Chains A and B, each alone.
Chain A
């Protein structure tokens, strides 16, 4: 079973559109959750952390539903510069593995292209 599953897309939207990405994770003991973005052949860059109460950063809103093990990202008023792959990431700090360090599990990413 995959740790993190995402709709791979691609999503092709016009500038100004609102687009939503979804993600599910399998480990109910997961501790922290993130959205990263990755441009072609570049490193993942943190977009935002995701909290149960939901959080917003400008045009971006993230939600976490622990009961459903579901994470979402909403992008409003899409810009050309939003074109990238969006990675749903879950951090499991598995004390039962003898480790107190976080280990990130990545989804395969959802590709977004915003066109003029």
Chain B
């Protein structure tokens, strides 16, 4: 069964450093998302991406964050200067379609646990 993959599984970084989290969405999916989950809290939307551009971003997704699809398979989330409060599990998701009336089910990767020291 196709699945979303993410690397690394765990990233430890110093405050102020840049990190890049990588995702490989399901191959025939065209819509990509990043979510995060701070320990003990709910999963929160960060950004959606389609056709090489951001479709929507949440208030969490400030100028420190950026996303990119550098090639035909990878989808990355960059945090330019990490803060302590960026420590969380970051989940990538993808969906096959997103048309009116469709279910556009989003499938999640296993996540990257980011720890900022």
Interface residues of A (CB under 8 A from B): 32, 34, 41-46, 49, 87, 91, 93-94, 97-109
Contact = CB atoms under 8 A, between A and B. Distances in A.
Contact of A102 (B43, B89, B95, B110): B95
B45 A108 contact: no
Contacts of A102: 31, 48, 95, 98, 104, 106
B56 A98 contact: yes
Contacts of A108: 41-42
A42 B110 contact: yes
A69 to B, nearest CB: 18
Contacts, number: 68
Interface centre among A34, A99, A109 (most CB of B within 10 A): A99
B31 A101 contact: yes
Contact of A46 (B33, B98, B107, B111): B107
A104 B35 contact: yes
B9 to A, nearest CB: 11
Contact of B43 (A87, A91, A93): A87
